[in-house]
Amino acid sequence: MTATATLQAAAPTPFSAPRWTTEALAALFEMPFNDLLFHAQQVHRRHHDANAIQRSTLLSIKTGGCSEDCGYCSQSAHHGEAQREALLDVDEVVAAAQAAKDKGATRFCMGAAWRGPKDTDLDRVATLIGAVKALGLETCVTLGMLKAGQAERLKAAGLDYYNHNLDTAPEFYGQVVTTHAISERFDTLDQVRGAGLKVCCGGIVGMGETRRARAALLAELANLNPPPESVPINQLVPMPGTPLENAPPLDPFEFVRTIAVARISMPASLVRLSAGRQEMSDELQALCFLAGANSIFYGDKLLTAGNPEAGRDEALFARLGLTAA
């Protein structure tokens, strides 16, 4: 079968249910590399400015001590090494948000290491949302799993996006997390959509999953109704003290393939290069942009993991002729 025929066979029809199957996306992964990138770039150009990159900044507003045992996370109380810290105060968060805006970020994301927030926590987070919103930035938070009514409270505070990643495919999830089921993540996403919030939802690759599991993860994301507005694709950053600290690195071309399949299956979404970018060469990032990535996390830190400095990003964008979205 030719590459074009493979893509046509994999593409959804108005009557297909679900919209994308794991088998269809696995077929895309199997395409010759150049053909896959060519099709992904075609899809990208039909829906986005081919040379515009949206920039977000992520700040940990409450670090360490999380009750969950996510195998990749240094903030887990089960195995992580991140120092437990209290929720940041408003002045600290506003200063960080203003600095992010000054460097070109248009969205400010705040992450707290909780299984889920208490109602009293939401009062303080709502204040932070309002303060960041007042700077003219889009707001996003990732607070863990939500209880009934909490998404509505966040919406009322002015929140734009709620981040809650699926992390990996359902069939692989239990090998990464044992303290909760992936169904609980879907429940939170349903609450977020029901409250009228935009969804930021992606996953992590390079945790020892198979290519089919990567296809299954992307199928789950693409079949959300509607698909997430933002899809962060994280490459595992092995953190000392975590069960995945010795995970072998993912082949760089496989990461680019993952970006391309995400773009084809979620054409209107922002596909974001997230964790792991510090370890990527400029050439690898350029391939990811060609494959359809059009958003990055911008700044020198992502929660507890490093991230390229803004100056390096500016230099890369100048070399590639990329502009801020």
The domain locations on the chain are 52-319
| The pair of three-digit structure tokens given for residue 282, joined into one six-digit string | 């400029």
Told to judge if 201 belongs to the known catalytic residues of this protein, a careful annotator would answer no
**Per-residue confidence of the chain (325 residues) as pLDDT tens digits?**
455 555 555 555 443 445 899 999 999 999 999 999 999 999 999 999 999 999 999 999 987 778 887 878 877 877 755 567 788 999 999 999 999 999 889 999 999 888 889 988 999 999 999 999 999 999 999 999 999 999 999 999 999 999 999 999 999 999 998 888 899 999 999 999 999 999 999 999 999 999 999 999 999 999 999 999 999 999 999 888 888 888 999 999 999 999 999 999 999 999 999 988 888 999 999 999 999 999 998 865 544 554 557 788 889 999 999 998 8
Query: Torsion over CA of 166, 171, 172 and 176, rounded to 10 degrees?
Result: 70
Buried b (16+ CB within 10 A) or exposed e, 168-182: bbbebbeebbeebeb
CA distances from 126 to 50, 86, 154, 235 (A): 35, 16, 6, 30
Candidate list 107, 140, 257, 263, residue with the active-site label: 140
* Predicted local confidence at residue 13, as pLDDT: 43
Q: Is 51 helix (H, G, I), strand (E, B) or coil?
A: coil
CA distances from 224 to 141, 220, 227, 260 (A): 20, 7, 5, 18
Told to judge if 140 belongs to the known catalytic residues of this protein, a careful annotator would answer yes
Question: What is the rounded end-to-end Cα distance, in angstroms, of the chain?
Answer: 38
Q: Is 271 helix (H, G, I), strand (E, B) or coil?
A: strand
| The pair of three-digit structure tokens given for residue 187, joined into one six-digit string | 């429940």
Told to judge if 109 belongs to the known catalytic residues of this protein, a careful annotator would answer yes
159-162 CB contacts, 8 Å cutoff, 24+ apart: 159/129, 159/197, 160/107, 160/197, 160/198, 161/107, 161/109, 161/197, 161/198, 161/199, 161/200, 161/229, 161/230, 162/192, 162/197, 162/198, 162/199, 162/200
| The pair of three-digit structure tokens given for residue 12, joined into one six-digit string | 């959804």
* Predicted local confidence at residue 4, as pLDDT: 53
Amino acid letter for position 219: A
Candidate list 55, 66, 201, 277, residue with the active-site label: 66
Architecture in CATH of 52-319: Alpha-Beta Barrel (3.20)
Candidate list 55, 73, 107, 201, residue with the active-site label: 73
Candidate list 55, 257, 272, 277, residue with the active-site label: 272
Candidate list 55, 107, 109, 288, residue with the active-site label: 109
* Contact status, residue 204 vs residue 167, Cβ threshold 8 Å: yes
Candidate list 55, 107, 185, 200, residue with the active-site label: 200
Told to judge if 66 belongs to the known catalytic residues of this protein, a careful annotator would answer yes
Phi-psi region at 11: left, alpha or beta (left = phi > 0; alpha = psi -120 to 50): beta
pTM, to two decimals:
0.90
Told to judge if 73 belongs to the known catalytic residues of this protein, a careful annotator would answer yes
